[in-house]
Amino acid sequence: MNSLVEENYLKALLHLANQEGFVNVNDLSKHLKIKMPTVTSMMKKLALKGLVHYESYKPLRLTSSGKKEAISIVRKHRLTEMFLVEKMGFGWEEVHEIAEQIEHIQSPLFFEKMDLLLGFPKFDPHGSPIPDKNGKIETRKYLKLSDCQINDKLVIKAVNNHSSDFLKYLNARDLTLGTKISILSIEDFDKTMVIQYDNHPAETISLTVSERLLVEKVKK
Amino acid sequence: MNSLVEENYLKALLHLANQEGFVNVNDLSKHLKIKMPTVTSMMKKLALKGLVHYESYKPLRLTSSGKKEAISIVRKHRLTEMFLVEKMGFGWEEVHEIAEQIEHIQSPLFFEKMDLLLGFPKFDPHGSPIPDKNGKIETRKYLKLSDCQINDKLVIKAVNNHSSDFLKYLNARDLTLGTKISILSIEDFDKTMVIQYDNHPAETISLTVSERLLVEKVKK
DNA sequence: GTAATTTGTTAGATTAATCTAACAAATATT
DNA sequence: AATATTTGTTAGATTAATCTAACAAATTAC
């Protein structure tokens, strides 16, 4: 059995490995806001438990058992987010902190029931894939809106930032998953975009926003 | 903000105070399965936080703020049990351990939503009252079935033991809350009872069982 | 009312998870 | 290549929550 703290290290390792390929003690330290010596000693502990490959001064890697454990926590987190939104009436901007706590509940049955009640969902409310019970993850490569061109026709499929402020910004503009948008113009200087969608007046969005919106091209 | 561990001490203090009137270090120690010196030092800590009245060698008492806190945890526990049974399809014998964990989730809104979705229930799946948001508890005095007489007509209103084994025993005999029963006979020697209910054949139940069934008399 | 038992406290050790300070290795800069 | 910077480790302290051993107070038994 892993402690809540250990679970958070594993989850962070998986997250950073997905983002950056390999993970330094320093990255993990910054991500978790925990000082490097603490991280080093936790890595040694997790190495003893067979969850992490650790060698001094080398990048950190999850073992296959560590990865399995980490994926199972991500599964619980995302199922919870989906449950909170679909079954309890939360907004997608409200669920992250709660799911961060509930993911550590020790009860396989509890998450089984969520999965069943939700009809075995493949994606969470932010468009992130929910790993299945065997740890298999349906990966889809989305584009960042910021990498798209003028006149592209796109659908918003996911967001890569779950902060409440960002999601409230999207709510205020009706930018939800599934929204079809076209790019009317892109400012050369700072990549500010003007986009159009539904019956909305054109919206001007900064690079900070367009980098966080994950889209797919629509043939049309 | 109180730690999960502190919350468990507060809850135990409230529980034992309800059961036995006043609470000794020893009682608390046994109930929590934590050694007495640890309990003593935690009581000093909770006293500093203004949650417990502590004086050496005197019985322990919650302060009003400690009691409020404890009741709020009980509320979260019972709302959770109700939610698990009513909205997630768990049996009443499965929910205690899960609720024991979820009661510590830090999110008032999460429990508000449960309350709302459940329609502000007054009792949990075991018949225990759910304190309202202000900490008010609808107390009803039930009888133990073991204190009733031959030919009494009774309704099961609650159980005072939530162990999975006991509840499975009741499930196997269709003894649910609301079941109307009559006492056919009581064995003088060991208080074993024969009871009759619904279309069931007469059931013989031990004192251990009849002590755990809380009932109300039916005029009829 | 003294002795025995039970209950409670003090003192000090332990474990998990954190920290700071100091130093060492690896990497980047010029 | 030598130096500076960044990254990582070691050593030792701290805090929360636990423990055991020893002792002290309160209660019970005779």
pLDDT tens series, chain A, 220 aa:
899 999 999 999 999 998 877 899 999 999 999 999 999 999 999 999 999 999 999 999 999 999 999 999 999 999 999 999 999 999 999 999 999 999 999 999 999 999 999 999 999 999 999 999 999 999 889 999 999 999 999 999 999 999 999 999 999 999 999 999 999 999 999 999 999 998 899 999 999 999 999 999 997 5
Whether residue B98 and residue A117 make contact (CB cut-off 8 A), yes or no, is no
Mutate to test the interface with B, among A77, A95, A98 (most CBs of B within 10 A): A98
Q: What burial class does residue B125 get, using C-beta atoms within 10 Å of its C-beta: 0-12 exposed, 13-18 middle, 19+ buried?
A: buried
pLDDT of residue A220: 58
Report the nearest residue to nucleotide D8, CA vs C1'. A57
Query: Which residue in B has a C-alpha nearest to residue A80's C-alpha?
Result: B110
Pick from A88, A90, A106: CB nearest B101: A106
Query: What are the residues whose beta carbons fall under 8 Å from the beta carbon of A123, sequence distance 6 or more?
Result: A82, A129, A130, A158
Q: What burial class does residue A57 get, using C-beta atoms within 10 Å of its C-beta: 0-12 exposed, 13-18 middle, 19+ buried?
A: exposed
Q: Does A97 touch chain B (CB under 8 A)?
A: yes
Q: Does B81 touch chain A (CB under 8 A)?
A: no
Statement: residue B50 has pLDDT above 60: yes
Kindly state the helix (H) or strand (E) to which residue A159 belongs, with its residue range.
strand A153-159
What percent of chain B is predicted at pLDDT more than 70?
Answer: 100
Statement: residue B143 has pLDDT above 90: yes
At B139, is the pLDDT very low, low, confident or very high (cuts 50, 70, 90)?
A: confident
The mean pLDDT of B57-82, rounded to a whole number, is: 97
Mean pLDDT of chain B: 95
The minimum CA-CA distance between B76 and chain A, rounded to whole Å, is 14
Q: Does A94 touch chain B (CB under 8 A)?
A: yes
Q: Does B90 touch chain A (CB under 8 A)?
A: yes
Kindly state the helix (H) or strand (E) to which residue B159 belongs, with its residue range.
strand B153-159
- In whole angstroms, C9 C1' to B42 CA is 13
* B47 CB-to-strand D distance under 7 Å: no
The minimum CA-CA distance between A95 and chain B, rounded to whole Å, is 9
Statement: residue B20 has pLDDT above 80: no
Q: Does B82 touch chain A (CB under 8 A)?
A: no
pLDDT of residue A20: 76
